[in-house]
Structure 1
Amino acid sequence: MINANARRIDVHHHFVPDFWAADLAKNGGDPSGWKMPAWNPVSDIEFMDSLGIDMAMLSLTAPGVAGWKGQAALDMARRVNEYAAQLASDHKGRFGSFVTLPMQDIEGALKELEHAMTVLKAEGVILLSNYDGLYLGDAHFDPVWQALEAYKAVVLIHPTQPRLELIPGIPGPTADYPFDTTRAALSLLANRVPAKYPDVKIILSHAGGFIPYGADRFAQSLGNLGLGFTPQELISQMQNFYFDTALSASATVLPSLMAFARPGHVLFGSDIPYAINDKVKWFTRNLDTYQGFSKGQLSAINRQSGLTLFPHLKN
């Protein structure tokens, strides 16, 4: 049974602006092979109500604006972000936003971040796992991380298609996306990003890819790279990540995730509307009926941990 009164804060919840969807095919398309879903805010809120979702942080899914060139990338990012802010205004208390940055233009990304945080009052930022094959730990992105640190920003890292051919008949989100989330997280660790920018709250999509499951392997391997961190220190840095439950709340995933994550670092995620409604219901039902939680863990996932990241929602 799904708890329709859970008052969840959903940190992994997409929107599909018509103007963005119409232009995407002309600007590189979606290399993942996933079908574009229908979306509108009214039906979205109706579905949210049936799932007990109180507030959804709207974000543009991969490939974001990565395919747009020059000024067109900056213009589309601004248009998408202002549309999300308008939705939040039109449906007060139901939507927040994680803004899109035109990361192919670092100066443009910094200007858009400033606008988003100071004018639009966005709740956070969505970054893709890689941009044209360049992963988020690369020094090229340091100015953006420095700015995010100054804002003490919440950042959702969302996977995008890695530079791999699709497995015939298998869209990228099925297997390649959790793989690329893992690659992005390890890129951050190997380049000391979490250590340099500790005030950025980083959410890893889909329960962190393979991070909780492979953490000890990753830490032992990274510990041999001369980073100046012991394996246990690297484990601690991995545990500083936040993890959402989108497409991940199951009897096999939850034990590893809850054993690994710090208290308060697991957040509710739905992956609406890219996950088919029945699949979203299946994972939400699994979350609500899972018997392995200790006292308070489920309410923390659903709402309390989100309130810690977004304290203004307590008002």
Structure 2
Amino acid sequence: MASRAIAGPPPRFRKIATEEAFATTELQTAWLDVAKNSHAASLDVPTGILSIFNDPAPGSNQDRFRRQLLDVETERLQEMDAAGVDVQLLSVTIPGVQMFAPDRADALAIATNDHLAAAIAKHPTRFAGLACFAPQSLRGAAREMERAVTELKLNGFIVNSHTDDLYLDDPRFSPILEAAEALDRPIYLHPRAPSNGMAGPFREYGLGGSIWGFGMEAGTHAVRLILSGTFDRFPKLRIVLGHMGEALPFWMWRLDHMYRRRARDGRLTPTSLTPSEYFRRNFAVTTSGFEDEAALNLVIDRAGIDNVMWAIDYPFESSVDAAAFIDQAALTPAQRASICHANAERLFRITQA
């Protein structure tokens, strides 16, 4: 009788986690100062700043979030090792530097990026990083983007959705998009609480945060970029969306359908491509905070396997659970390699170990 092969353990894939948050004590102080003064009406205040950074209850999730956001080395590396995470792509947590006056925001962006680059220099095989900048300071933003890539060797950029209740399709932000395209580095478009113009219905039931408001805000931002013709003006610009694409993969058929109808009716300026074509050409998607295999399959179908990357959403989600999810998903070895590390290495220029 022929012997039956005994399956061994599945092959281990290098894992690069692509939406992993950090903060600095300087930012913490600045956020609390803003939260307690002129921007108190912002929904970012109750959904993030005060709940995490203003003396959360000892032992609570918020207390742990604050501790782990501020720690870039000790506990973070221990958790990475425990979960089998090879690299974290670090980015500053919401709202970044986007709530401050322009000069203050520029200074905080420089300090935060220097802090990030120093952490990467100490652990070059374990960390990569996305630079923050201040969209409300156009000259400062473009200058810091250039410095972050050419001098600090960071891997791309993080924008925490709206700035002064404006979105990146606004023509005033064209120099930022031009800089990202010229530097050939993607912008990770990360959610934050809904802007003041849409915040009202999100203030009750905790809707303003990750349960609903964050995704609605970032998804709306992405659709504005698509329908505004931004990607006709900047065809090589790459945008990254977390959380399985902030619901855009689910909406893609209807976005195409309604785009065609409104373009025919003259209610929308026609663009060279349909929304779904821009999505495949100009966007990439990460799995951050979303361990749902049906959603993963939809994202692969809508975005293409070369545009999907694994992420945890550390420290807000479990590294062990996120690693188990991608290890157990019904993927071919080639698909798993693409999602776990190869796409991130290519898109973010992360050197292989």
TM-score under structure 1 length normalisation: 0.91
Query: What do the CA deviations read for 1:198-218 (whole angstroms, capped 9, x no partner)?
Result: 222211111111110000111
> Residue 22 of structure 1: CA displacement?
2.4
Aligned: 1:300 with 2:314: no
Aligned: 1:309 with 2:347 = yes
Matches within 5 A, 1:111-122: 111-122=143-154
RMSD (Å), alpha carbons: 2.1
Give, in angstroms, the shift of residue 295 of structure 1: 4.3
- The one-letter amino acid of 1:288's match is D
**Counterpart residue number, 1:234:** 275
**Residue 86 of structure 2 is aligned to residue 54 of structure 1:** yes
Distance change in 2, residues 1:295/1:90 (3 Å): closer
The answer to whether residue 260 in structure 2 is matched with residue 246 in structure 1 is no
Which of 16, 19, 24 does residue 17 from structure 1 map onto? 24
Matches within 5 A, 1:174-213: 174-213=211-250
The reply on whether 1:285 has 2:324 as its aligned counterpart is yes
SS in 1 for 2:289: coil
Amino acid at match of 2:104: A
Name the % identity: 22
Distance 2:311 2:274 in 1: 28
**Which runs of 4 or more aligned residues in structure 1 lie more than 6 Å from their structure 2 counterparts after TM superposition?**
none
Give SS of 1:10's match: strand
Paired residues in the alignment total 309
Matching residue of 1:31: 45
**Could you tell me which residue of structure 1 aligns to residue 6 of structure 2?**
none
Q: Which amino acid aligns with 1:239?
A: R
1:170 positional shift: 4.2
Distance change in 2, residues 1:237/1:21 (3 Å): same
Seen in structure 2, the aligned counterparts of structure 1 residues 4 and 22 have a Cα distance that, compared at 3 Å, is farther
Counterpart of 1:156 in 2: which secondary structure? strand
Find the residue that maps to 2:293 and give its secondary structure.
coil
Superposed, 1:82-121 pairs within 5 Å as 82-121=114-153
When residues 244 and 308 of structure 1 are mapped into structure 2, their CA distance, relative to the original with a 3 A threshold, is same
Higher-Rg member (1/2):
2
Using the alignment, how far apart are the partners of 1:69 and 1:155 within structure 2?
22
Distance 1:32 1:237 in 2: 35
Q: CA deviation at 1:7?
A: 1.9
- Select the structure that is richer in strand: 1
Other structure's SS at 1:130 match: coil
> Which residue of the other structure, out of 305, 314, 318, is the alignment partner of 1:263?
305
Inter-CA distance 314–251: structure 2 relative to 1 (3 Å threshold)? closer
Distance 1:71 1:195, change over 3 A: same
Extract unaligned runs of 5+ from structure 1.
none
